[in-house]
Amino acid sequence: MNTDTMRERLIVGLDVPSVKEAETVVRDLGDAVSFYKIGYQLAFAGGLDFARELASDDDKKVFLDMKLLDIDNTVAKGVENIVRMGMTMLTIHAYPKAMKAAVEAAKGSGLTLLAVTVLTSMDERDVIDAGYEYDPHTLVLRRAEQALAAGMGGIVCSAEEAAAVRRIVGPDMAVVTPGIRPAGAAHGDQRRVVTPAQAIRNGSSHLVVGRPIVGAVDRRAAAHAILTEMRSA
């Protein structure tokens, strides 16, 4: 893979408390990064307007990590408005009815809908405590099958499960993996973590990296180091 291709596959998580800080991160990274994730923390601090502005830049893409789940009509109306915002990716919890409603609402647009399988902060005990009868790996694969059947554009899962998910969904669907940590980096609150190179080898199409870049003293250098590791795979 060339540098530009890997640049399109690295998504930096703007998990920061304010739009001002997010603007600083984007400015620090410059042309090293073109893809950003905006989740709850920033969204509820004015980040939705920021997401729209960022997406209006021809060289920037936005992954809106809202993990939608509600009755069908509510999910559909939300997705319709997110399409109008110009987002590139959007997460939906991998419940079959919610996914089908989202797919219908996004039909004909450029929005890639991603099915959230099992959060990378959850291990087997957490899944059992949540009332599921499956272990995390089995639950991820079951939801990947349901997402494929629903017509979703991709899957969000741990890179530990990416190879197995790729075998289910085939070569065309996105496999987006958070919980990425460079070798030697602290895991934080992530339980199922993988290095950038291993994630690429496992079949991940996009890697979401937050703290190892955003929390670095030299953010641009940290991003370049991760891109180098991705290319090494």
Alpha-carbon distance of 149 to 134, in angstroms, equals 20
Q: What is the CATH number of the domain that holds 204?
A: 3.20.20.70
Tokens at 181, concatenated: 């940590």
Question: What is the number of structural domains in the chain?
Answer: 1
User: Taking residues 13-20, what's their average pLDDT?
Assistant: 97
Q: Is 65 annotated among the ligand-binding residues?
A: yes
Relative orientation angle of helices 96-106 and 136-150, to the nearest 10 degrees: 40
DSSP codes, 41-95: HHIIIIIHHHHHHHHTSTT-EEEEEEEE-S-HHHHHHHHHHHHHTT-SEEEEE--
Q: Is 207 annotated among the ligand-binding residues?
A: no
Alpha-carbon distance of 199 to 195, in angstroms, equals 6
Residue 231: predicted pLDDT: 93
Q: How confident is the model at residue 206 (pLDDT cuts 50, 70, 90)?
A: very high
Q: Is 226 annotated among the ligand-binding residues?
A: no
Residue 215: predicted pLDDT: 95
Q: Is 37 annotated among the ligand-binding residues?
A: yes
pLDDT digits (tens, 9 = 90+) for 64-73: 999 999 999 9
Alpha-carbon distance of 64 to 87, in angstroms, equals 7
> Tokens 């004015």 identify what position?
46
For residue 149, give its domain range.
Answer: 3-232
Which residues are marked as active site? 67
